[in-house]
Chains A and B, each alone.
Chain A
Amino acid sequence: MLAQTVTDNTILEVKNLKTYYPIYGGFLGRAISKVKAVDDVTFSVKKGETFSIVGESGCGKSTTGMSLIQLVTPTSGEILFNGENIFGKDKRKLKKVRRNIQIIFQDPFSSLNPKMTVKKIIAEPLVINRIASGQELEDRVVELLEMVGLGAHHLYRYPHEFSGGQRQRLGIARALALNPEIIICDEPVSALDVSVQSQVLNLMQELQEKLNLTFIFISHDLSVVGHISDHVAVMYLGRIIEMGTREEIYQNPQHPYTKSLMSSIPLPDPKAKFTKKRIVLEGDVPSPENPPTGCHFHPRCPYRTDKCKEVYPEFMKVTPNHSVACHLVESGQLA
């Protein structure tokens, strides 16, 4: 089932993770149904790499990210961090785990408290975990600010005094405060302009090399993911449908959904429009509340067969570094 063979430097292993959101309704307001936001997701991440999760809105990529540090409580599954299951731990133990797994959020405007100064924002994780105080604390905050390209003169400013790119740098500094091993980046650059986006991406790569960080990068932007990742998982309606190394996914996509995703990206090259063939999918992403039977993708799939409508395809390996869940690839009908 796993896309990568589990070796010693695996830092995070997720097994059969399920996160269901209940839907309340009816006369007594009981849970009458559930949305399978994350449904049986399995993957593993190696130390020092960037593992990306891509997909369209509503595919469960953010819920997966938040389930990993239990900002939303998963329904079942295992999350092995350095070999130890962290799912279902009590709050105190969870606090220790979260020291090692930090998160950067999408919107740098709403993820920083407007009433707190930069110093307070970045110092907060250090204070909560009782790691530093007094002069030591201030030195550490300045060190962190310098690491992300800001300086000591920013200490007593408020978030509104910064531009979007600078705010995202503050978010990164805060995530780095506790020397985490893994940083979950939930759409860290999608709120930024292109020229600023490249600054932040470069910064993230620099920090990754310097501090040997592991990134779990969640994004809908395939160009950015193609630039930064080592491994890529493509999600559709709560499930991973294709997973592999970046080269495999981008140069040799197998699943019809991945293929159409790749062909839908507008390329910044005016000549490409004559040579590129775009596979435009019909219809919208179905509601995860009521996913289609069989393969979730079959109503939009141009190649669907009867089997696709009934049986969910198993995850299978195409090459050692590349797995896909599709009946047609399995039977070789898409080659």
Chain B
Amino acid sequence: MVLDVKNLSVGLGTKDNQKLILNQVNFSVKRGETVAIVGESGCGKSMTALTVMGLLPEPVVSLVSGEILLQGKNLTNLSQKEMNKVRGKDVAMIFQEPMTTLNPSFTIGNQLGEIFKIHSNLNSEEIRKKCIEMLTKVKIPDPEAKLKVYPHQLSGGMRQRVVIAMALACNPKVIIADEPTTALDVTIQAQILDLLVELQTQFNTTVILITHDLGVVAETCQRAIVMYAGQVVEEGSVEELFEHPQHPYTKGLMDSIPRLGDARGKLHVIKGSVPDMDAMPQGCRFNPRCEVATDICRKEAPELEITSDGRRVRCWHKL
């Protein structure tokens, strides 16, 4: 296990009036694996990523309990200074919007070089060479000239390549990619996803891909974790999950995507919308929207049960 997240709970607000936006999140990731965290907006998938990175916007949002073990080292105990050494070196992050991730007033060479300046003892000529090497790896044409270029001079796809180069710069153990292709067009998305998969095998990095697009999950990941309202509701290998979803929410999600070549007809609908944090339903958090909910669902919250090898489901009435 490269990364082990145990009983992670994250709260919003002050101590006396705290609402849990992540509730007992558990998962672990093996070396070299691509794991997806899927869910709708507000389900806590991005918060999970920020917590692992130690980037929670404190004190508004703060860690309540839990451990994040990166190769046995607990990241939650580290001071800000120690965390700075881990971030970028052992865990790196790729954000959704490459335009806001990159600083508009520094050149690409400057921003990419900064990582080596912080995490290595290389001199400036070596850093320059390293930067060119990284840009070549992410297939940016004419890398040497691109060092002097500002982010706004690049297209969205190229910018995202720079961000990927920055994430890979120190050969981190884990890369968290938070919706890396959502802001891009389909043809560019295809390029970036191909690049990510290729680099991952080349560097043997672990990738946690956070996305709402089930198509991206099916094409790039081996395992997926489905989140709903701050909890993990289902986990399994992508093949099993898509073929036999056991949680009604997962099944609902799969059914509501319009499929190519489908005739015009009614789409499957999950009624209602994601519950508000202030008004979490009693019992199972999905029960008001669930088609198979019964009395027990409304009273008692189900536990995340292991159903078979590597599969976990949080539901009283597994499908």
**A interface vs B, CB < 8 Å?**
56-57, 163-166, 193-199, 201-202, 205, 220, 222-224, 226-228, 230, 250-251, 260-273, 278, 280-281, 284-285
B216 cross-chain contacts in A, Cβ below 8 A: 266
B155 engages A284 (CB within 8 Å) = yes
Q: How far is the CB of B153 from chain A (nearest CB, A)?
A: 12
A195 engages B185 (CB within 8 Å) = no
18 extra interchain contacts, Cβ-Cβ under 8 A, other than A196-B273, A270-B243?
A56-B185, A198-B258, A220-B186, A222-B186, A227-B262, A228-B258, A264-B189, A266-B189, A266-B190, A266-B215, A267-B219, A268-B242, A268-B257, A270-B242, A278-B190, A281-B187, A284-B158, A285-B155
A202 cross-chain contacts in B, Cβ below 8 A: 266-267, 269
A196 cross-chain contacts in B, Cβ below 8 A: 40, 273
Using a CB-CB cutoff of 8 Å, which residues 248-265 of chain B contact chain A? 252-254, 256-262, 264
B194 at the A/B interface (Cβ < 8 Å)? yes
Residue in A closest to B219 when the chains form the complex, CB atoms: A266
B2 at the A/B interface (Cβ < 8 Å)? no
**B interface vs A, CB < 8 Å?**
40-41, 155-158, 185-191, 193-194, 212-220, 238-239, 242-243, 252-254, 256-262, 264, 266-271, 273-274
B218 engages A198 (CB within 8 Å) = no
B215 engages A268 (CB within 8 Å) = yes
- State in angstroms the CA–CA spacing of A227 and B262 once bound together: 6
- State in angstroms the CA–CA spacing of A147 and B189 once bound together: 37
- State in angstroms the CA–CA spacing of A56 and B185 once bound together: 6
B242 engages A195 (CB within 8 Å) = no
- State in angstroms the CA–CA spacing of A72 and B40 once bound together: 35
B218 engages A268 (CB within 8 Å) = yes
- State in angstroms the CA–CA spacing of A160 and B270 once bound together: 23
- State in angstroms the CA–CA spacing of A228 and B188 once bound together: 24
Given the known A-B contacts A195-B269, A202-B269, A264-B190, are A285 and B256 also in contact in the complex, defined by CB atoms under 8 Å?
no
Partner of B270, one of A195, A228, A272: A195
Q: How far is the CB of B118 from chain A (nearest CB, A)?
A: 31
**Could you jot down 6 A-B contacts, CB within 8 Å?**
A227-B259, A264-B189, A265-B260, A268-B215, A268-B218, A281-B187
Partner of A198, one of B41, B187, B191, B269: B269
B191 engages A270 (CB within 8 Å) = no
B213 cross-chain contacts in A, Cβ below 8 A: 266
B259 cross-chain contacts in A, Cβ below 8 A: 223, 227, 267-268
- State in angstroms the CA–CA spacing of A228 and B157 once bound together: 29
Residue in B closest to A246 when the chains form the complex, CB atoms: B264
Residue in A closest to B276 when the chains form the complex, CB atoms: A163
B256 engages A194 (CB within 8 Å) = yes
B258 engages A223 (CB within 8 Å) = yes
B273 engages A264 (CB within 8 Å) = no
A268 cross-chain contacts in B, Cβ below 8 A: 214-215, 217-218, 242, 254, 257, 259
Q: How far is the CB of A108 from chain B (nearest CB, A)?
A: 13
- State in angstroms the CA–CA spacing of A268 and B260 once bound together: 10
- State in angstroms the CA–CA spacing of A254 and B253 once bound together: 32
- State in angstroms the CA–CA spacing of A202 and B156 once bound together: 33
- State in angstroms the CA–CA spacing of A280 and B219 once bound together: 14
A272 engages B267 (CB within 8 Å) = no
Q: How far is the CB of B184 from chain A (nearest CB, A)?
A: 9
- State in angstroms the CA–CA spacing of A335 and B257 once bound together: 32
Sort A-B residue pairs by CB-CB distance and give the 4 closest, nearest first: A266-B215, A227-B258, A56-B185, A198-B256
Q: How far is the CB of B36 from chain A (nearest CB, A)?
A: 11
B218 engages A272 (CB within 8 Å) = yes
A195 engages B186 (CB within 8 Å) = no
B271 cross-chain contacts in A, Cβ below 8 A: 199
B186 cross-chain contacts in A, Cβ below 8 A: 56, 220, 222, 261, 264-265
Residue in A closest to B260 when the chains form the complex, CB atoms: A226
Q: How far is the CB of B26 from chain A (nearest CB, A)?
A: 24
